[in-house]
Structure 1
Amino acid sequence: MSAESLNSYFQKIEEHLVQVQNVINKIPTLNLDTLYRLEKDMEALRLEAKYCKADDLPGIMDQMNNLHNLIVKFSKPLKLPDGASPFFGHMRIFQDKKEKDIYLGHVSLMHEQMKFKIIDWKRAPLAKVFYQYDEGDDFDFDVEDRTVEGQILEKSVITIVNGKLYRIDRNDETYVKKEGKWTSSNEEKVHLSGGQGQSYGEIAIGTGNTDHKNPDVISMLDKEQFKIVEADAKAPLLIVGGAGSGKTTVALYRMARLLENRAFGESEAVIIVPNLGLIRLAETLLEKMGLYSVKVRALDEVFSTLVRQAVKGVPAKVYEEAPLVSGIIKRHHSTLHILSRYVQKIERDLIHDLKKIDLDLTFQRMKGPVGRRLEELSFRADGIKAIKLKEMRQNLNNILELYFNFLSSSVFQAQIVEASGDVISQRMMSEFSHHFNRQINSFDSDKEYLEREIEGVQKSHGHLDMDDYPLLLELRRQVWGSFLSDRSGAQKQYKHIFLDEAQELSPVQLGIVGGLIHKEGNITVAGDAVQQIDPTISFDSWDKVLDHLGVENVGVTELNVSYRSPKEVVEFSHQVLGPLSTGELPKTKKTSGPVVKTQIQHLGHATVVIGKALEDLVKREPKATVAIICNKLDAARTIADDLGDLPNVRLVENADFKFTPGIDVTSVDQIRGLEFDYVIIPDCDRVNYPENARARKRLHLAATRAMHQLWVLYPSERTLLF
């Protein structure tokens, strides 16, 4: 395209911008003159209806109804485009034997003083043409019972900053206005290439060159990783390391090696991970190792199974909308600490009741958990004493009611606040108390919270959330000595547990996992404190993690080499961490394309830019895996919907990744432990990623999912983290 044609195009866009801004400034948000005329007309019709003939009344009433609708319409403030950024895309089309200028914006606008129109990019059928076709293409689409056909003559992506035209992207070229003149930008074109098939195509960690001649199962490990695989089968092991250092894969290789050496059977081992995505990843890796019978279980599923086996009256349905403060309090170590005090109070109250039947001293001389001692005492008693002891045992067996009594007690609530230091405030506890009381009230008060069987179908009452389950299990363990059910077929302990992403577990959750370790078994723990992003968890140290698990003499191995991300991504991620980093740049084994940084106007603008780049990428590299990682799930839903015309676009809301070529649109909370050929972060602004520790961890986690190349997009209010 000639320079003259380009300048003419730029001038047209600038003139149209000025026109729409002038129109917006002139249009009042309320048309008071029109409202006044409509009200006068309505008053006249009312008078006419009062004295008209009966035959004329239906027609007058119809007119009044129409006028009423118009009054309602004009009484609402008129929604107009924002003059600071009224549109972000342009196309000139030939349709119905006419050439038309169409702009894409957030709010539609047509006016007699404008020879063009702005259409809503989400609602207008014509907006799809902008996303699906390029300049010079013929287009067609169906609207109701007709087909609209035409041709795109011009098309561009437009950036407007503070009401001024700043940048135009057209035909794969970028033009920026500098010092009053339009010039071709030296900014590198967004071009993602070369990463196809690196994600999960094969297990490739380490250098693949070791000094050991061993079976294929360890042929791909480097020396440090080999040491982990060969560690003592009976010793617990902690593997810490940065993103992409191979923690998960090495731990799985260790399990495979121990199975080879018959340290335990496949049914005696389990892998526990935080979410569904990591289940599928672990299962994929296990299949590559030929291990088909080792179970991989999500943490929530483990707790759900245990609590339903061990605690009576737990509803089948899990409450999914508990407030954040509920999770913070139920997961905090102070709640676990005060729970022990509550069990001590249960014992004191029980001794007081036993004194009435002269069994208090006998009970105090006995050893073991309070429930087991009471049970043993019951076996020795008869008569009225046996009846009283049976009633006491039934009360202790009602773990759900004991639990409700604990967390609803203002005394123990106050103790939790005090024990937490400055973490849990009295205001937070008041909010929690209101929520928890609603939980209690949702159960049948006259049925002791037990499930009833009605016409052969169990009916659950009330609701519990996932954070209740570990506390219920811990309460049962402290009262009865174990949270494992004695029933046939119930969950048993394991001789080997691999716990992944352990930094995301609360003290009470860690304690329950530790209770699943067989007395002759061991555990491998993997994690990275920097990747701890759950707002309800406060990570202290790995020593604390091991204490809560109840394991001792743990061998600790640190992996310092990133085998996933190239040097460019590692350097970017290290910068994002800032003061949270160890200070030393992690080592990496590969280099790749640069981290692409692109300024955009808003999320809608980002979708246009991303869509164009991905359209090209999926044609060149159909086997590539791409993740668009948003800070919030709502933004992911919007982007997935807008990119729906691209092949293999998948919205991932519950970590249910397919691990197949395509484009996964998801949020930061879903992607722990996962990796993709390409990662795109579309919302790097100061709202999503402010300058604090949690935001640094979240952005770092998102960036380090990239195996080949990273692309970040940001508005003018860019995050300060890079």
Structure 2
Amino acid sequence: MRQDHALNNGAAGASETAPNGEPPTFTAAGVARRSAVAEEQEFLDLATARRDRRADHLRAELSADTQDTVERARRRLLRQQYEELGRARDGLVFGRLDGVDGTVRHIGRVGLRDDHEEREPLLLDWRAPAARPFYTATAVDPQGQARRRHIRTTGSTVVGVDDEPLDGSTNAELVGEGALLAALDQRRTGRMSTAIATLQREQDDIIRAEATGPLIVQGGPGTGKTVVALHRVAYLLFAHPAMADQAVLVLGPSPRFLRYIAQVLPALGETAVVAATCDTLLPGIRVGRDESRLLAEIKGRALWQPALENYVTSLLPRPRALKLRWEGESYVIPAATVAQALASAVQGRPYHRARTAFAAHLHHILAEAVVAQREALMNEMEEGFEDILARVDRAMQHEPQVSRRSTGSDVDGLLSEEEVESLRSRIAGNAALARFVEAWWPTLDAGTLLRGLLTDGTLLARFAPQLSPAEITAVSAEPAPWASSDIPLLDALADLLGEGEAPRPPGGSVADHARRQRDWVYGHVVVDEAQELSEMQWHMVLRRCPGRSVTAVGDIDQAAAAHRHTSWAEAVQAVLGDRWTAAELTICYRTPREVMELTEPVLREAGSQNAPPRAVRSCGIAPWMRTVPPAELADAAAGAVRQLQQRWHGGTVGVVAPADRLAELRAVLSDVPVLTATQAKGLEWDATLLVDPQGITTEPRGWNGLYVALTRCTQELGQLVLS
């Protein structure tokens, strides 16, 4: 069985320092001789002192200035290590593995070596391969371990340990059950915290999975989808350091959600991360209006990608003979030559890059034409001069005293290589020629093009023939400000045009540069609440990671978006095809068993074929329900919230209600979040007040929304039902 050691169950043990001053060796035998808490306090003090010495050393190295490029690159890594050590002050040590061979390894937020570099690490980074048994070893598969210990700390003090034998003497279902349940029972603060000390095996398997292609993780409420996704980022950046040079993109469903998770990755020591929503991915573009679900569904379809590709292709100039002037002379470039240059320039390039390539071809062609014309002119001159010389020669036959000299063979009229190169350079820099190319192949703007397409029924019918006449009418009636579903279309057009390619300015972090550039290619992309993405938004994701190193987490049964996908295969088929890997989280840690028992009939009403995740904890509080008249709803909600706040003092309370109830509830509830089911996705509170659940079911995707609303609490659920 699990052994719990409280702070007061043993006095501090004596320090075991070797005669030569080396750090003490912690062995399994030593555990039996000393208090568990005291022993772990001794180790924490040792690790803290080593962390501080290392930080002091790094700070001294970083204090000196340098202009050497190689040294500056090395110091960037040192600064990253220094900042990581600073963030590791809380929870520096949280675990320990005792091997069957007597070895002891401590697990922590960062890796630390002792003063003797050739020895075993003093503290293993939780992401290191040697630390993995801490998350995956079981009594059935102990992986060479005799015991796992979770170490609970507050600041620099060890407050308790939880021991878990791995010798088959216990059948604990959860890894570090005591530490996990203690963490789950803590009051919520409105901000997500790290979970490196309490990750479970099925979570760790996903965190450490290969990043060679799209990984889609299905997980019901409370299964730790977001925790897994964020800790996977930290693991990948640790396992693949080069990924930090490209940064990682984390896409969330809303700014509120991004604020909720904002401190997790920095707390894990990762800063090469850009957090955004699909609506904020285009620099300088913001959503200016809401739109109907019908339009959102229409404009989210994958058909727009080929439609926009064909639209931009239609805007390319058509081959024709081009008449150019250079230094007062006219030159005609044949249509066949122009067609060949066009075909060579396009070759999969975006519109504006293809124009740049064509201009380079044109400069070369014009230079050749100029050289050829000059050579032809010189040849004509030489032929005429030779006729004159022939007449002179005939005359000279009668004047033998005249010296005979011929210069025709001394001048061939050819330009030297240097002269030809100079000609090409002057042609490339000629403003008049640049204006000609711009007029024939004009610069285009993605926003202007999209507005032109969406408001022109004829163009829509031509390039998106899959749309019905009614759908074309609905789309072409759209007003000017951008809606959320316009952003992926704008992104697609910007990509097809080649907009947003800017040189990387000096200074700033990788994340800063990536955030400013639409066309940045990331090392990895994480998508949370991925079931909400439209097919066109999936295209946005792949544009930012062509290598398809993507982790998407979500619950298909919590989908609130306009599309009607009921499986992941349906959701991603149009963009990913069959080239993705599925994974699943099956255990609910957050939502108590008493609440999860309410969800199965709701899922059936939603048309789901999935079983709800299995809850592993009980809060001992039965969900309650009160019936109130509509006229008394606001007052009843205010009273219920006050009671919940009193019961969960120091924690959080959230209110979920239908959209048409928000205004009246917010008028009397100014100190708690009052959200729709969609807005509440991904969030959690100690207690949830669900107002008018029947009203939620009447909204689009209503039963899915009710499933979301029911599963936001970690402790108590109350419902106000209208009479």
| Contact 2:246-2:521 within 8 A present in 1 as well | no
Q: Alpha-carbon deviation of 1:227?
A: 0.8
Aligned mate of 1:478, from 496, 500, 507? 496
Q: What secondary structure, in the 3-state scheme, does the structure 2 residue paired with 1:494 have?
A: coil
Do 1:639 and 1:665's aligned partners in 2 also have CA atoms closer than 8 Å?
yes
The structure 2 residue matched to 1:369, chosen from 335, 349, 363, is 349
Alpha-carbon distance, 1:478 to partner: 2.7
1:600 aligns with 2:628: yes
1:225: Cα distance to partner? 1.1
The separation in 2 between residues aligned to 1:538 and 1:578, in whole angstroms, is 16
- Aligned-residue offset at 1:275: 0.7
| Residue 496 (structure 1) aligns with | 524
Q: How far does the alpha carbon of each residue in 1:578-618 deviate from its partner, in whole angstroms, 9 at most, with x for none?
A: 1523353431111232221222211x423333333333333
Taking the aligned partners of 2:339 and 2:613, their CA distance within structure 1 comes to: 62
* In 1, Cα distance between equivalents of 2:622 and 2:464: 49
Alignment of 1:394 with 2:421, yes or no, is no
- Change in Cα spacing, 1:583 to 1:470, as seen in structure 2 (3 Å) is closer
The answer as to whether partners of 2:251 and 2:528 remain within 8 angstroms in 1 is: yes
The secondary structure found in structure 2 opposite 1:558 is strand
Shift in CA distance, 351/668, structure 1 to aligned 2, threshold 3 Å:
farther
In structure 2, the residue matched to 1:20 is: none
How far did 1:558 drift? 0.6
Aligned partner letter, 2:521: Q
* Counterpart secondary structure, 1:333: coil
Displacement of 1:204:
8.9
* Cα separation, partners in 2 of 1:341 and 1:639, compared to 1, 3 Å: same
Query: 1:274 offset after TM fit, Å?
Result: 1.6
Code of the residue aligned with 2:633 in structure 1: it is A
Letter in 2 for 1:381: L
For the 8 Å contact 1:574–1:581, the answer to whether it is kept is no
Asked if 1:277 corresponds to 2:284, the answer is no
Query: Cα deviations across residues 463-514 of structure 1 (Å, max 9, x unaligned)?
Result: 433433321221232344x765456455222112211111112222221221
Matches within 5 A, 1:404-443: 404-414=451-461, 419-420=466-467, 426-436=469-479, 439=480
CA displacement at 1:195 relative to structure 2: 9.5
State the Cα deviation string for residues 165-199 of structure 1 (Å, max 9, x = none): xxxxxxxxxxxxxxxxxxxxxxxxxxxxx997443
Please name the residue that 2:234 is paired with.
256
1:668 and 2:677 are equivalent in the alignment: yes
Structure showing greater radius of gyration is: 2
| Residue 546 of structure 2 corresponds to residue 539 of structure 1 | no
Letter in 2 for 1:665: V
Q: Do the aligned residues in 2 keep the contact of 1:375 with 1:393 (CA within 8 Å)? A: no
Once residues 538 and 612 of structure 1 are traced to their aligned partners in structure 2, the CA distance between those partners, rounded to angstroms, is 38
What's the counterpart of residue 614 of structure 1? 641
Q: Distance in 2 between matches of 1:479 and 1:195?
A: 50
Higher percent of residues as strand: 1
- Measured after TM superposition, the shift of residue 625 of structure 1 is 1.1
User: Residue 693 of structure 2 corresponds to which residue in structure 1?
Assistant: 684
Q: What are structure 1's unaligned runs of at least 5 residues?
A: 1-193, 206-216, 309-315, 440-462, 644-648, 651-662, 717-722
CA deviation after TM superposition for structure 1 residue 201, in Å? 8.4
CA deviations over 1:431-479 (Å, ceiling 9, x no partner) = 432224xx2xxxxxxxxxxxxxxxxxxxxxxx43343332122123234
Match of 1:381 among 339, 355, 362: 362
Q: What is the CA deviation profile of residues 664-707 of structure 1, one whole-angstrom value per residue up to 9, with x for unaligned ones?
A: 2222221111111111111123x5423x8711111111111121
Contact 2:221 2:613 in 1 (8 A): no
Q: Secondary structure at the match of 2:654?
A: strand
Kindly, what percent of the aligned residue pairs are identical? Answer: 23
Structure 1 pair 606/404, CA: closer, same or farther in 2 (3 Å)? closer
Measured against aligned partners, the alpha-carbon deviations of 1:37-73 in whole angstroms (never above 9, x if no partner) come to xxxxxxxxxxxxxxxxxxxxxxxxxxxxxxxxxxxxx
Report the alpha carbon displacement of residue 238 of structure 1 after superposing the two structures with TM: 1.8
**Which secondary structure state, in structure 2, belongs to the residue aligned with residue 709 of structure 1?**
strand
Structure 1 residue 709 corresponds to structure 2 residue 716: yes
Counterpart contact for 1:277–1:671, Cα < 8 Å? no
For 1:419, what is the secondary structure of its paired residue? coil
User: In 2, Cα distance between the equivalents of 1:381 and 1:415?
Assistant: 32
Matched residue SS, 1:636: helix
Separation in 1, partners of 2:234, 2:286: 36
Aligned equivalents of 2:592, 2:275: Cα separation in 1: 29
Task: Give secondary structure in 2 for the equivalent of 1:498.
Answer: strand
Q: Pick closer, same or farther for the CA change 1:493–1:569 going to 2, 3 Å.
A: same
Verify the 8 A CA contact 1:196 1:623 in the aligned structure 2.
no
Contact 1:493–1:516, Cα closer than 8 Å, also in 2? yes
Matches within 5 A, 1:297-696: 297-303=276-282, 305=283, 308=284, 318-347=287-316, 350-351=318-319, 358=336, 359-364=338-343, 366=345, 367-369=347-349, 371=351, 372-381=353-362, 387-395=435-443, 397-414=444-461, 419-420=466-467, 426-436=469-479, 439=480, 463-480=481-498, 484-485=501-502, 488=505, 490-491=516-517, 492-517=520-545, 519=547, 522-535=549-562, 537-539=563-565, 541-543=567-569, 545-546=571-572, 553-579=579-605, 580-592=607-619, 593-602=621-630, 604-632=631-659, 634-643=660-669, 649-650=670-671, 663-685=672-694, 687-690=695-698, 694-696=701-703
User: Are the equivalent residues in 1 in contact too, given 2:341–2:362 (CA < 8 A)?
Assistant: no
RMSD (Å), alpha carbons = 3.4
Residues 542 and 465 of structure 1, relative CA distance in 2, 3 Å threshold: same
Q: CA deviation at 1:545?
A: 5.0
C-alpha change, 1:282 and 1:617, in structure 2 (3 Å) is closer
Q: CA deviation at 1:528?
A: 1.3
Q: How many angstroms does 1:575 deviate by?
A: 1.3
Deviation at 1:574, TM superposition (A): 1.9
The answer (yes or no) to whether the contact 2:341–2:361 under 8 Å persists in 1 is: no
Contact kept, 8 Å, 1:272 with 1:500, in 2: the verdict is yes
Pairwise CA distance, 1:228: 1.1
TM-score by length of 1: 0.56
What residue identity is the alignment partner of 2:708? L
Q: Secondary structure of the residue that 2:487 maps to in structure 1?
A: helix
- 1:110-259 pair list within 5 angstroms: 197-199=186-188, 218-259=196-237
Secondary structure of the 1:265 match is helix
Is the 1:195–1:709 contact (alpha carbons within 8 Å) kept by the matching residues of 2?
no
Question: Which residue in 1 is equivalent to 2:707?
Answer: 700
C-alpha distance in 2 between matches for 1:199 and 1:276: 19
- Per-residue Cα deviation, 1:355-399 (whole angstroms, up to 9, x for no partner): 99551243235522362333212123257976543223324x333
- Give the Cα separation in 2 of the matches to 1:552 and 1:333: 16
Name the TM-score, length of structure 2 as normaliser. Answer: 0.56
> Do the aligned partners of 1:196 and 1:625 also contact (CA within 8 Å) in 2?
no
**Alignment coverage as a number of residue pairs:** 447
CA contact (8 A) 1:331 1:506 kept: yes
CA deviation digits over 1:55-99, x for unaligned, max 9?
Answer: xxxxxxxxxxxxxxxxxxxxxxxxxxxxxxxxxxxxxxxxxxxxx
Assess, with a 3 A threshold, how the Cα gap between structure 1 residues 353 and 386 changes in structure 2: closer, same or farther: farther
SS of the equivalent of 1:582 reads: coil
1:257-280 Cα shifts (integer Å, max 9, x gaps): 223334332871231112112112
1:388-413 Cα shifts (integer Å, max 9, x gaps): 43223324x33333323322332343
